[in-house]
Amino acid sequence: MDVDVVVIGLGPGGEYAAQKLAEAGLSVVGVEKALVGGECPFYGCIPSKMIIRAADALAEARRAGSLSGRADVAPDYGPVATRLDKQATNHWNDDSHATRLEEAGVEIVRGHGRLDGPGRVVVDGTTYVASRGVILNSGTEPATPPIDGLADTPYWTNREVMRLTELPASLVVIGGGAIGAELAQAFARFGVRVTVVEVVDRILGPEEPEAARVIGDVFRAEGIEVITGAEIGRVDHDGTFTLTLADRTLEAEQLLVAAGRRTNLSDVGLETLGLDSGAKVVETDERLRAGERLWAVGDITGKGAFTHVSMYQAAVVVRDVLGEDGPWADYRAVSRVTFTDPEVGSVGMTERQARDAGLRVVTGHADLPESSRGWIHQAGNEGLIKLVADADRGILVGATSIGPSGGEVLGLLAAAVHAETPVATLRGMHFAYPTFHRAIEVALADLGL
């Protein structure tokens, strides 16, 4: 069958590209082997943030007593399992995603798509020939760390968690990255006894060390045990889970493994275009071109495993396919948010990355509890602003915003890093009083530039 474009995998980027190209009048086939929409709406961003929204509301209600000076105003929360059940039943088919694409003119083909040379894709024996080319958006699966015994146990990944209707009494989370941290805190706030086990020496490893300190302190205060630098010898399951660490054992009713993602690249036919089918990521240029008549978008490109990166890249591909001018892909100011409470928002380079890049780095800090808004907020006011500046160019190259709505405060900092706004210009801004973002003014002064 001849078409203009075939999209393999309809995660956020593939879905976006397919829709936009079909709306532009091209004939588009979208191939999906599971759920149209990919990880984000069903197993990832959206259901996890729905769970977190409920957990945060409970935590905020618990803070009411301390804020009002009346311990007795804390309400009875009711059965939290009801909330989980509602989330699961409201959100478990891909009709809305598939319908939106079909209304735009995309032909959806259900099955496993495999490249078969430039511009060719085979699905269940049918070959599709794409005159403009193929967009690969095959995404990721949860990775299984090589721990003795683990593979034989009924452990959870994010995919099982998003379907839960009942809470366990206790949970061990392997992995203290964004996904593990977010879910650990949410479960703890629902009343589950939670232990986070992280093999490196701090949680939230890719973020600034200050993030690990703030979130680690909050977790401990909320009763979450955090074990870092752990050596996990083996995992057993005998009704309950037992983790054998170097110096102790842990027991829990359930085990969640949130230890990274594995890209779906081994069986998509990359070798038919002369590319390495054993590679962990697909190399792309600034137009996301990966080979002859092949573009790649999303987590498989290794440029940030985020929905907004996948959609940003898809927009670049759409421009390239339609023969439009750029802008082409630029990753200087990728922003990301860990939706713990407080949220950890960050953009661009960490201090370490900036130093490793050879920049003359200066940093500026502001502690949120000492800001006017932090003082007003009281319970739950933990956080800080950290700025990373290139002293030679007088611009911010990275920033972290930890606090209530830290991800929202990040917007200003992301714009500054993206636009390379001079620090002198930022310092001359008005910062509304008493907002959380006003703490940025203090951090700018602390840069000493």
Please give the DSSP secondary-structure letter assigned to residue 285.
Answer: -
Check: CB of residue 288 under 8 Å from CB of residue 317. yes
> Can you give the binding site for ligand FAD, defined by CB under 6 A?
8-13, 31-35, 38-40, 43-45, 48, 112-113, 137-140, 158, 179, 264, 268, 298-300, 305-308, 310, 339
> Nearer Cβ to ligand FAD, position 168 or 374?
168
| Residue 421: CB minimum distance to ligand FAD, A | 24
What H or E segment, with its residue span, contains residue 56?
helix 45-68
In degrees, rounded to 5, the angle at the alpha carbon of residue 89 between the alpha carbons of residues 84 and 93 is: 130
CB of 209 to ligand FAD, least distance (A): 22
Among candidates 388, 325, 402, which has minimal Cα distance to 357?
A: 388
Closest CA relative to residue 195, chosen from 168, 179, 219: 219
3-state DSSP: the chain helix, strand, coil percent, rounded to 5?
35, 25, 40
Q: 141 or 251, CB closer to ligand FAD?
A: 141
* Orientation angle between helical segments 45-68 and 178-189, nearest 10 degrees: 50
Interacting residues of 353 by C-beta distance below 8 A, sequence separation 6+: 398
Residue 177: what residue type?
Answer: G
* Residue 343 CB, nearest approach to ligand FAD (Å): 10
**Which is nearer to ligand FAD, 26 or 123 (by Cβ)?**
123
Closest residue to ligand FAD, based on beta-carbon distance: 139
Tell me how far, at minimum, the Cβ of 40 lies from ligand FAD, in Å.
4
Rounded distance between C-alpha atoms, residue 51 and residue 381, angstroms: 21
| Closest distance of CB 435 from ligand FAD, Å | 24
The smaller minimum CB distance to ligand FAD, of residues 12 and 406, is found at: 12
Q: Which one, 281 or 429, has the nearer CB to ligand FAD?
A: 281
In the three-class reduction of DSSP (H, G, I as helix; E, B as strand; rest coil), residue 387 is classed as strand
Question: Which CB, 12 or 364, lies closer to ligand FAD?
Answer: 12
Give the strands of the sheet with 254-257, arranged side by side. 225-227, 193-197, 170-174, 254-257
Closest separation in Å from C-beta 180 to ligand FAD:
9
- Of 8 and 147, the one with the shorter C-beta distance to ligand FAD is 8
Burial bucket for residue 363 (CB in 10 Å: 0-12, 13-18, 19+) = middle
Choose between 27 and 137: whose C-beta lies nearer to ligand FAD. Answer: 137
Q: How far is the CB of 167 from ligand FAD (least distance, A)?
A: 17
Residue 98 CB, shortest distance to ligand FAD, in Å, is 12
Nearest of 389, 332, 350, 304 to residue 212 by alpha carbon: 350
Which residues face 242 on adjacent strands?
236, 251
Among residues 184 and 368, whose Cβ is nearest to ligand FAD? 184
* CA end-to-end span of the chain: 61
- Nearer to ligand FAD by Cβ, of 136 and 197: the residue is 136
At its nearest, how many Å lie between ligand FAD and the CB of residue 77? 24
**Least CB distance from residue 34 to ligand FAD, whole Å?**
4
The C-alpha R_g of the chain, in whole angstroms, comes to: 23
CB of 201 to ligand FAD, least distance (A): 24
Could you give the CA distance from residue 343 to residue 101 in angstroms, rounded to a whole number? 33
Residues 6+ apart with CB under 8 A from 10: 18, 30, 31, 32, 36, 37, 38, 97, 101, 108, 137
Nearer to ligand FAD, 408 or 420 (CB): 408
How far apart CA 150 and CA 199 sit, in angstroms, is 15
